[in-house]
Amino acid sequence: MDESSHDVTRLLLEWGAGDPAAAERLMPLVYGELRRLARDYLRRERPDHTLQPTALVNEAFLKLVDQRRGWQNRHHFYGIAAQAMRRVLVDHARARATEKRGGPLQRLSLEDVNVSTGGRAAELVALDEALSGLARVFPRKAQVVELRFFGGLSVDETAAVVGVSDKTVMREWESAKLWLYRELDRGTAGGGAGGRHDGD
């Protein structure tokens, strides 16, 4: 158990006790660990392998959180981890999408984005922006998407983190998908009446 594990455990406890600033301070620690783990995993695996986000998050939990302090509730951690996972992936995608094109992002059609890594990166960045837009109107929807899509959590885990029923999670999820898909679709069509603007 290294130094950071005490910090993380303490911050988690503080955050659990209602200190929102603790979450802000947790983020860089979790972010760093997840990023390291993700790279480590992928170095070991073939490039066509799928990252298992839950495995990563759990490994990060074991590494970062002092297990002797009786911190049994992983759900608090999942929330932070999903956020960190989002940042890890999107930061990386942003860097990559920029580098591939040697310039600012271009929108691609949704059909194209599944073809190349660069396209995926662009899609991920666009999705991240759309998700931020969604959060402004429907914060809970955005949280559900963050937990499920970025954190890889199942419906019931998501429900436990958000503190709602499975049914609500599914309803928020389904409607959020429509919303986000439309945003991306509009983005690719080049127009759009959505509330989100590029470059904010």
Partner 1 sequence: MTEIERLRRADEVVQAALACGEGEWPALLERECGADERLRAEVESLLGYRERARAFIETPAAAFGAALFAGDDDAEEAAGRAVGPYRIVRELGRGGMGAVYLAERSDGEFEQRVALKVARRSFADADLRRRFRQERQILASLNHPNIARLLDGGVSADGEPYLVMEYVEGERVDDYCEARRLSTRARLRLFLGVCRGVSYAHRHLVVHRDIKPGNILVTPEGVPKLLDFGIAKLLGPAESGEQTLAGMRAFTPDYAAPEQMTAGGHITTATDVYSLGVLLGDLLGGSRRGRGAAGRRRHGTPARTVATNLPTDQDGAGKGRAGARKAADSELDNIVAMARREDPARRYATADELADDVGRYLEGRPVRAQKDSLTYRAGKFVRRNRAGVAAAALAVASLVAGLGVAVWQARAAARERDRAERRFDDVRQLSNALLSDIAPKIERLPGSTHARQSLVGQSLKYLDSLAGESADDRVLQAELASAYEKVGASQGAPERPNLGDYPGAVASYRKAQSIRRRLLELDPADAENRRRLAASYNDLAAVLYWTNDYAGALEAHAEALRLYESLAAERPADLRLRLALAETRLDLGQTHSRNQRYAEAFPHLRAALASLEEAVRAEPGDTEARRLLAKGHTLLAAALSWSEAQAEAEAEMAKAVEAGEALVGQSPNDVILRRGLWFTYLQASSIYEELGDAAKDALSEEYARKALRLVEGTLEKDPADVQARQNLAQSYSKLAVSAANRGKLDESARYVEGALAIFAELERGEPNGLTFKRNIGIGYTRLGIARHKQGDLPRALEAFERSAASFDAIARSDAQNMVSLRDEAQAFKNMARIHEEMARGGAAAAREAHLRAARENYQRALDLLLGLQSRGAFAQVDREFLEEMRDGVRRLR
Q: How many residues does the chain have?
A: 200
Q: Which of residues 42-81 bind partner 1 (CB under 8 A)?
A: 42-56, 58-59, 62, 67
**Is residue 142 involved in binding partner 1 (CB under 8 A)?**
no
Which residue, 160, 136, 156, 158, is CA-closest to 145? 158
- Tell me whether residue 183 is exposed, middle or buried, using C-beta atoms within 10 angstroms of its C-beta: 0 to 12, 13 to 18, 19 or more: buried
- Tell me whether residue 123 is exposed, middle or buried, using C-beta atoms within 10 angstroms of its C-beta: 0 to 12, 13 to 18, 19 or more: buried
**Is residue 1 involved in binding partner 1 (CB under 8 A)?**
no
Task: Fill in the amino acid letter for 65.
Answer: V
**Is residue 31 involved in binding partner 1 (CB under 8 A)?**
no
Which residue, 38, 32, 69, is CA-closest to 52? 38
- Tell me whether residue 71 is exposed, middle or buried, using C-beta atoms within 10 angstroms of its C-beta: 0 to 12, 13 to 18, 19 or more: middle
Give min distance, CB of 22 to partner 1, in A: 25
Give min distance, CB of 129 to partner 1, in A: 14
Comparison of 27 and 194: residue with beta carbon closer to partner 1: 194
Among 149, 161, 187, 188, interactor with partner 1 by CB under 8 A: 149
**Is residue 190 involved in binding partner 1 (CB under 8 A)?**
no
Comparison of 106 and 175: residue with beta carbon closer to partner 1: 175
Comparison of 76 and 148: residue with beta carbon closer to partner 1: 148
Among 121, 144, 159, 160, interactor with partner 1 by CB under 8 A: 121
Which stretch of DSSP H or E encloses residue 170?
helix 166-189
CA–CA separation, 163 and 158 (whole Å): 8
CA–CA separation, 147 and 157 (whole Å): 9
- Residues at the interface with partner 1 (CB under 8 A): 38-39, 42-56, 58-59, 62, 67, 85-86, 88-89, 92-93, 96, 117, 120-121, 123-124, 127, 137-138, 145, 148-152, 155, 166, 170-171, 174-175, 177-182, 185, 195
